[in-house]
Each structure stands twice: as C-alpha cells, then as structure tokens.
C-alpha cells in the first residue's frame, strides 16, 4: 500500500482519534493571533464553553438488543440531498488558516456527500468554491461593502448555482473578542507597519505558516465583497467588517427580491425570532449564537433548540450550530428536532492543522461517530431519531414557546 501523504499522516490515528485532537495541532501550526481568532469567543467566553457543555445535560435512552445491519445517515436541507446529517458552517478568514481555504473545505464536504456554507469574508472567489465540489453550497451573507456590493455578490452566487442563502442576524456589531484585541488582530490586518511591530514576533516564530501565507499573496482583498466600480474590498479585520453588517427584518424584503432562492435566518435563539424569520420569508432558521463569538451569556444553542422547534411547528426547517465536537452532539440535536447540524470549529481545527486532509479527517470522525451512536441507540436512520432517544432535563421543558 502506498504511504499516506504527509498531511494525511499528520491527522491519522492514533495521533488524531477525536476532533479535539486536531486543536493542539492547529495551535502549533498557526501564529497565536490566527489560532485565537479561530478558537476564541466573546468576553468571558461563557457561551463558547456552555455550547459544548450543555450537550452533556442530555442523556441517551438506547434501545438494546436491536440489530442494526446498516445505518442510513441521509437527510435533506433546502431540498438538497445530503449523505450526512451535518454540513460545514461558514467560517470567515479560512484562507488565513490554510492557503487552500474555502475551496478545500468545500471539496472535502463534497467528497463526503455533504454541503458547505461559504462566508462573505472568504478568500476564494465564490465561483471557484462552487467549482471545487459536487455537493451543495450555500452562501452566507454579511452586508459588508454596502447594499450594491451585496446585490452584486447575490447575483454572482445565484448564477454560480448556490443552493441557498444564509443571512446572519446576530452581528449588529462585532462581539468583544478579547483575545483578538490582545493579539493585535486589527493592527496585523489593517494597521501600518509601526502598529504591527509589537505583534510581529509571534507571527515570525511560525515561519512555515508565514511562508505559505506570503506565497499565497498575504493580506489579499476580499474576492466576494466587490464594490461596483471600485473592485474587491481590501481585507479588513473582523471588528470593522461586522460593524457594517447590521441586518434588520426589513432588509429581508430586498434580500429576498434580489436573491429569489431559499433563505435561512442564521442566529435565531428564541421562538419569537423564529416566527419573525418565517414571517420575513425564511424557509429555514438556524439556531446559533455564532459559536459564542457575539453576545456572551446567551444560552447554548442546543438549549435554545426545543423552543425554536416548538415555535415553528414544522413549518420551516430548523438547523443548529454551536459546540458540536462529537457525533453524539449531532445525534442529540437531531433527536430534539434539528433537520441538519452545522459544524464550525470542528472542521476549522482540521483545516488549520492540515488543510483539506484535516477537514476530511474531521468529517470522517464525525460520520463514524454518528453511525456508531445510531447503532448503540438501536436506531436505523437519522430520520427515525426523536425525543424518545434522549432524556431532557425538566428545566428545558419549561422554556417559553
Ligand atoms: C473562526 C470562525 C469564523 C466564523 N465566521 C463566520 C462568518 O463569517 N459568518 C457566519 O455567519 N458565522 C461565522 N462563524 C460562526 C459559525 O458559522 C458557527 O455559527 C459557529 O462556528 C458554530 O460553533 P462551533 O464553532 O462551536 O461549531 C465563525 C465561526 C468561527 C469559529
């Protein structure tokens, strides 16, 4: 048998057995500023931690002595067939984590038969990302660069064949990501040379990453934020980008007119907002707190899921992201009524550790986890998962509907 390429060896068992095993590899390869951008959350990082911890409050109720010869992991999202019940979430600045960035993540998703969501703050042109995968791709919209830039990118996404639009509604301003401030993310991305100097030593101490980043063109402009008549917007730090991205329910009207395809409201945490999203024309809501990166101390995504599921009453699809690090987390979300789950850091750690090979490994681990969990539960397919397979804490049942 031919030896595995180096990137694949790096993330192979026994070094990488769980998704969390890729986190230290990512930490080692990236400068601190980039790793902390990926890993960190807002303020005290309460929601970041709680997103993961809250899954532990749900316990499984397996059906024993049931033979499951084959599991069926297929699901559908916005009319697209997926081989897996999870997809890859939009992660901004992916090309900073690895030069192969968004195109490689989309390719890995496509090879596994699942979908990829491309952030507006991405480093590869959306057309290249679409061409990299046979799987469905969804575009995530931030209103960076003004309405004309958004209209232009929606037109491009429509022409390129994007299957849906995620409108992120939880970024009226950027969350206070303290690690990014301490690491000088803003100065490194958009400051002058003198502003950068205090923050350069750590970047220079990662020569491999730095060489790859510079060979890839360094701080490139944003190919998917093109202001008509002015060209692609210069790369800006996340604080500056999100300061421009306020979306209101009223904006859904022109976004709908422009896009004309299915819209997912990403960032819903209450039944009220879920119903508002449906009224605004969304055909799916994504329960999300932006991975704990925006308003800290909001509830964990999984904790908010039952209220949202009850509020929409099957009228629209319910997606969920936040804190998913293992397949059983995905299964628990499906049991509580999510149609599909998005993974963010779980694949981004893989991307940062080993590019496409790392993303492929993350997907493979999560897929095997979901398959094994179904067998251990005595359940044949993700379509059959429901509340009867989990015990939900009493307090969760008392949420407002
Ligand atoms: C590094 C990073 C960048 C992100 N960039 C975006 C983005 O550009 N647009 C967006 O809607 N969500 C963004 N998110 C949020 C993710 O789409 C998703 O909601 C979150 O990662 C889920 O939590 P998890 O990382 O615990 O899986 C980002 C998350 C991370 C970790």
Integer Cα distance of 363 and 343 in angstroms? 9
Enter the pTM of the model. 0.98
Mean pLDDT value across residues 40-69: 97
Residue 401, pLDDT above cutoff 70: no
State the average pLDDT over residues 278-285. 98
Nearest to 198 by CA among 33, 39, 352: 33
Distance between alpha carbon 219 and the CA centroid of its chain, in Å? 22
Q: How far is the CA of 201 from the centre of ligand 1 (A)?
A: 27
The DSSP secondary structure of 63-96, one letter per residue, reads --S---SS-B--EEETTEEESSSEEEPP-TTHHH
For the Cβ of 266 lying below 6 angstroms from any atom of ligand 1, the answer is yes
Quick one: how many helices (H) and strands (E) in the chain? 21, 14
Residue 339 or residue 1, greater confidence: 339
Tens of pLDDT along 136-149?
A: 999 999 999 999 99
Measured CA to CA in angstroms, residue 353 lies from 25, 33, 179, 198, 281 at distances of 5, 15, 20, 26, 39
How much of the chain, in percent, has pLDDT values that exceed 70?
99
Q: What is the pLDDT of residue 241?
A: 80
- Ligand 1, atom 30: closest residue by C-alpha: 91
Task: Note the pLDDT of residue 17.
Answer: 98
pLDDT(238) > 70? yes
Ligand 1 touching residue 177 (CB < 6 A): no
Question: Is the C-beta atom of 119 inside 6 A of ligand 1?
Answer: yes
Confidence of residue 311 (pLDDT cuts 50, 70, 90): very high
245 lines ligand 1 (CB under 6 A): no
Which tens digit of pLDDT belongs to each residue from 357-396? Answer: 999 999 999 999 999 999 999 999 999 999 999 999 998 8
pLDDT value at 398 more than 70? no
Ligand 1 closest atom vs CA 38: 1
pLDDT of residue 400: 57
How many CB atoms lie under 10 A from the CB of residue 391? 12
224 lines ligand 1 (CB under 6 A): no
Q: How far is the CA of 88 from the centre of ligand 1 (A)?
A: 10
Residue 381 is classified by DSSP as B
Q: How confident is the model at residue 290 (pLDDT cuts 50, 70, 90)?
A: very high
Q: How far apart are CA 398 and CA 259, in angstroms?
A: 38
Probe target for ligand 1 pocket from 47, 49, 91, 320, with the most ligand atoms within 8 Å of CB: 91
Q: Which two tokens stand for residue 225?
A: 């934020």
Q: What whole-number distance in Å separates Cα of residue 145 and Cα of residue 273?
A: 26
Q: In the chain, what percentage of residues exceed pLDDT 90?
A: 94
Per-residue pLDDT band for 245 (boundaries 50, 70, 90) equals confident
Phi, psi of 286 (to 5 degrees): -110, 115
- Mean pLDDT, the chain, whole residue set: 96
Give dist(CA 16, CA 390) in Å, integer. 28
Whether the upstream peptide bond of residue 14 has omega within 30° of 0, thus cis, is: yes
Mutate to test the pocket of ligand 1, among 22, 290, 351 (most ligand atoms within 8 A of CB): 290
d(CA 90, ligand 1 centre) in Å: 6
**What pLDDT digit, counting tens, does each position of 156-188 carry?**
999 999 999 999 999 999 999 999 999 999 999
Q: What DSSP string describes 153-179?
A: HHHHHHHHT--EEEEE-S-SS----HH
Which atom, in ligand 1's list, is nearest to the CA of 343? 27
Instruction: Kindly report, residue by residue over 332-350, the tens digit of the pLDDT.
Output: 999 999 999 999 999 999 9
Kindly tell me if the per-residue pLDDT of 73 is higher than 60.
yes
DSSP 8-class letter at 379: -
Q: What is the rounded CA–CA span in Å between residue 80 and residue 258?
A: 21
Average pLDDT for residues 238-262, to the nearest whole number?
A: 91
CA distance 202 to 196: 11
Q: Which residues of 244-268 are buried (b: 16+ CB within 10 A; e: fewer)?
A: bbebeeebbeebbebbebbbbbbbb
Give the pLDDT score at 12: 97
**Residues constituting the chain:** 401
Q: Report which protein residue has its CA nearest ligand 1's atom 21.
A: 344
Instruction: State yes or no: pLDDT of 239 exceeds 90.
Output: no
CA angle in degrees (0–180, nearest 5) for 292-297-299 = 80
Domains and CATH numbers, the chain: 6-384 (3.20.20.70)
Active site annotation includes 290: yes
Q: How do residues 86-134 score in pLDDT, each as one tens digit?
A: 999 999 999 999 999 999 999 999 999 999 999 999 999 999 999 999 9
Beta strand 317-321 with 80-82 is unpaired
- Average pLDDT for 216-222: 95
pLDDT at site 240: 81
**237 contacts: CB under 8 Å, gap ≥ 6:** 180, 185, 186, 189, 190
**Antiparallel, parallel or unpaired: β 263-268 and 284-287:** parallel
Classify residue 392 as exposed, middle or buried by CB count within 10 Å of its CB (0-12, 13-18, 19+): middle
279: number of Cβ within 10 Å? 10
Res 237: pLDDT: 81
Which residue CA neighbors atom 26 of ligand 1 most closely? 323
Query: What is the average per-residue pLDDT within 226-241?
Result: 88
């Amino acid at each position: 048998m031919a030896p595995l390429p180096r990137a694949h060896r790096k993330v192979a068992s026994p070094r990488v057995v769980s998704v969390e095993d890729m986190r230290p590899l990512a930490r080692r390869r990236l400068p601190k500023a980039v790793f902390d951008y990926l890993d960190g959350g807002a303020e005290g990082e309460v929601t970041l931690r709680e997103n993961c911890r809250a899954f532990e409050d749900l316990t499984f109720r397996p059906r024993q002595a049931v033979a499951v010869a084959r599991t069926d992991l297929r699901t559908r999202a916005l009319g697209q067939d997926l081989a897996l019940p999870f997809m890859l979430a939009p992660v901004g600045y992916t090309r900073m984590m690895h030069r192969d960035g968004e195109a490689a993540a989309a390719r890995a998703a496509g090879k596994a038969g699942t979908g990829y969501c491309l952030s507006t703050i991405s480093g590869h042109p959306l057309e290249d990302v679409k061409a990299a995968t046979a799987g469905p791709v969804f575009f995530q919209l931030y209103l960076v660069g003004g309405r004309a830039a958004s209209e232009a990118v929606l037109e491009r996404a429509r022409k390129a064949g994007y299957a849906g639009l995620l409108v992120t509604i939880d970024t009226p301003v950027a969350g206070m990501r303290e690690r990014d401030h301490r690491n000088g993310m803003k100065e490194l991305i958009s400051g002058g040379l003198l502003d950068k100097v205090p923050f350069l030593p750590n970047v220079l101490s990662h020569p491999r990453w730095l060489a790859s980043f510079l060979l890839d063109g360094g701080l490139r402009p944003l190919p998917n934020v093109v202001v008509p008549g002015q060209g692609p917007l210069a790369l800006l730090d996340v604080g500056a980008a999100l300061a421009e991205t306020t979306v209101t329910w009223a904006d859904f009207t022109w976004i709908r007119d422009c896009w004309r395809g299915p819209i997912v409201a990403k960032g819903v945490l209450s039944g009220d907002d879920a119903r508002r999203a449906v009224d605004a024309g969304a055909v799916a809501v994504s329960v999300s707190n932006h991975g704990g990166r925006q308003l800290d101390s909001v509830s964990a995504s999984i904790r908010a899921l039952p209220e949202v599921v009850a509020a929409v009453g099957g009228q629209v699809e319910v997606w969920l992201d936040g804190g998913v690090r293992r397949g059983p987390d995905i299964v628990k979300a499906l049991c509580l009524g999510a149609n599909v789950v998005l993974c963010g850091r779980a694949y981004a750690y893989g991307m940062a550790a080993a590019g496409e090979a790392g993303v492929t490994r993350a997907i493979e681990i999560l897929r095997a986890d979901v398959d094994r969990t179904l067998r251990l539960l005595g359940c044949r397919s993700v379509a059959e998962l429901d509340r009867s397979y989990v015990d939900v804490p009493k307090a969760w049942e008392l949420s407002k509907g």
